[in-house]
Amino acid sequence: MPITPATATHSPSNGTAEAILLELVDEDGVTIGTAEKLAAHQAPGQLHRAFSVFLFDERGRLLLQQRALGKYHSPGVWSNTCCGHPYPGEAPFAAAARRTYEELGASPSLLAEAGTVRYNHPDPDSGLVEQEYNHLFVGLLQSPLRPDPAEIGETVFVTPAELAERHAKDTFSAWFMTVLDAARPAVRELTGPSAGW
């Protein structure tokens, strides 16, 4: 698996961890600077660029992931296929494709832009805030998964009915319904009317 600042804590020979920087943006998504990842998520949060990916199998089922218990933000909750932050200067599409492979060990056979959504979601458990300008992507996944256990605890493909059932009983990320609802037009176009999204 490729090792990047997003998948590992860097430990240079001097013993210091390398800071992960996020791209700060204005309300129109224009880059205005950078901030260290944790600092950008501390209340009240700094608006930064992010991405969310929704991948489907050939039957139109959505791939969900349960975030690994070791993650500092929203550990153990269910969420969309993949989400994260581009490196400063990295195109959101490239970041989404890269991070999907890093987390799932598989690349989408198709990945398409599905718009953007801006939100502000505090996480009551950690006190962190998701203040994000989020680029949405939908796609198809046809290869076997090899999830990175440091990132993902479990994966499951769900129909809309199965998602509704799971959403009623399990804990999901604070941003999940916001990004799914924003991506729905593109999801419906990708999966067709019979999938029910």
> What is the rounded CA–CA span in Å between residue 66 and residue 78?
4
Q: What DSSP state is assigned to residue 142?
A: -
| 106 Cβ contact partners less than 8 Å away, ≥ 6 residues apart | 100, 141, 143, 144, 145, 146
Catalytic position from the list 83, 102, 130, 151: 83
82 a catalytic residue: no
Catalytic position from the list 23, 103, 132, 151: 132
Long-range contacts (CB closer than 8 Å, 24 or more residues apart) made by 36-44: 37/85, 38/72, 40/131, 41/73, 41/128, 41/129, 41/130, 41/131, 42/127, 42/128, 42/129, 43/122, 43/127, 43/128, 43/129, 44/129, 44/131
23 a catalytic residue: no
Cα→Cα distances 96→12, 17, 101, 162, Å: 27, 24, 9, 25
Q: Residue 14 CA to chain centroid, in angstroms? A: 32
> What is the rounded CA–CA span in Å between residue 134 and residue 49?
6
Q: Residue 135 CA to chain centroid, in angstroms? A: 10
So which residues are the catalytic ones?
Answer: 83, 132
